[in-house]
Amino acid sequence: MKIAVIGTGRMGTALARGIAGAHRELIIGARNANKATALAKQIGAQVEAGGISASIKAADLVVMALPYEANLAALKDVDASGKILVDVSNPITADFKDLLVGHTTSAAEELQARAPGARVVKAFNTIFSDLLPREARNGTSLQVFLASDDADAKRAVESLVRAMGFEPVDAGPLRNSRFLEPMGEMNIQFGFFLGRGTVAAPIWQRV
Ligand SMILES: NC(=O)c1ccc[n+]([C@@H]2O[C@H](COP(=O)([O-])OP(=O)(O)OC[C@H]3O[C@@H](n4cnc5c(N)ncnc54)[C@H](OP(=O)(O)O)[C@@H]3O)[C@@H](O)[C@H]2O)c1
């Protein structure tokens, strides 16, 4: 199964490294193909690179690591039918303080509406990019919440999440992304505005 990571920012870079570290076949896509090529070269000779549409087309599982609105725009001109689309986004305002969508929809549901034939899985939105490298976690087990309407797609992402050293947690159908995304925003509030830094993540603790 070939995986594409779309985006070479903080999240795209860290996810691409983690996915390559989990020994998966990888292509990196970006609007500036030079950035994708440079990152691919840094990660390893076997990693491919390209533009956004070409990378989506080339992959079976696509991790969208662009800002929320850019994710939607990226899917406008490409047919993602049958592909697994992983939405890691928190649909936040430019100042990080509010959500752009919520209550009755979510970024993940909007992505699914934009790509009706794709199988969208919400994942990683409560994990800061700083905690994606295994060594940054100091052996702490962190949970990645997964929401999707497609059981096979969820299983595939679950396996990837595990291979990257996280504990996958089934968070139910895709519509539950409307509850996961506010958790992501609360994590941002803790990290950026309440002085706790980007080195913590929510876990669902069972007593
Ligand atoms: N950072 C985190 O800790 C974190 C944690 C959880 C979830 N997320 C989510 O991950 C996603 C990426 O966040 P980030 O922190 O990695 O952002 P970032 O560091 O600012 O990187 C953004 C990436 O998106 C690309 N991009 C921006 N606007 C675009 C557009 N209109 N069309 C095509 N590409 C565009 C940028 O390309 P250029 O280099 O060409 O500008 C860059 O590759 C967001 O949805 C965010 O909510 C982030």
Distance 78 CA to ligand 1 centre (A): 19
Question: Who lines ligand 1 at CB under 6 A?
Answer: 7-12, 30-32, 35, 65-68, 70, 73, 88-90, 125, 127-129
153-174: pLDDT as tens digits: 999 999 999 999 999 999 999 9
Protein residue with its CA nearest to atom 31 in ligand 1:
70
Domains of the chain by residue range: 2-193
103: left (phi over 0), alpha (psi -120 to 50) or beta: left
Distance 36 CA to ligand 1 centre (A): 13
The two three-digit tokens of residue 20, written as one number: 């390559």
Protein residue with its CA nearest to atom 9 in ligand 1:
89
115-157: pLDDT as tens digits: 999 999 999 999 999 999 999 999 999 999 999 999 999 999 9
Distance 95 CA to ligand 1 centre (A): 14
In this model, does residue 64 exceed pLDDT 90? yes
Is domain 2-193 given the CATH code 3.40.630.10 in the classification? no
Tally the C-alpha atoms within 13 A of residue 114's C-alpha that lie toward its C-beta: 20
Q: pLDDT at position 178, please?
A: 98
Name the nearest CA neighbour of 22 among 205, 186, 157. Answer: 157
CA-CA distance, 189 to 34, in Å (whole number)? 34
Q: What is the pTM of this model?
A: 0.98
Distance 71 CA to ligand 1 centre (A): 9
Protein residue with its CA nearest to atom 20 in ligand 1:
9
In this model, does residue 49 exceed pLDDT 90? yes
Taking the CA of residue 124 as reference, the ligand 1 atom at the shortest distance is 6
Tokens 């696509």, residue located:
62
Name the percent of the chain lying above pLDDT 90: 100
Q: Which of 129, 130, 137 has the most ligand 1 atoms within 8 A of CB, as the residue to mutate?
A: 129
Residue 59 main-chain phi, psi, to 5 deg: -110, 160
In this model, does residue 202 exceed pLDDT 90? yes
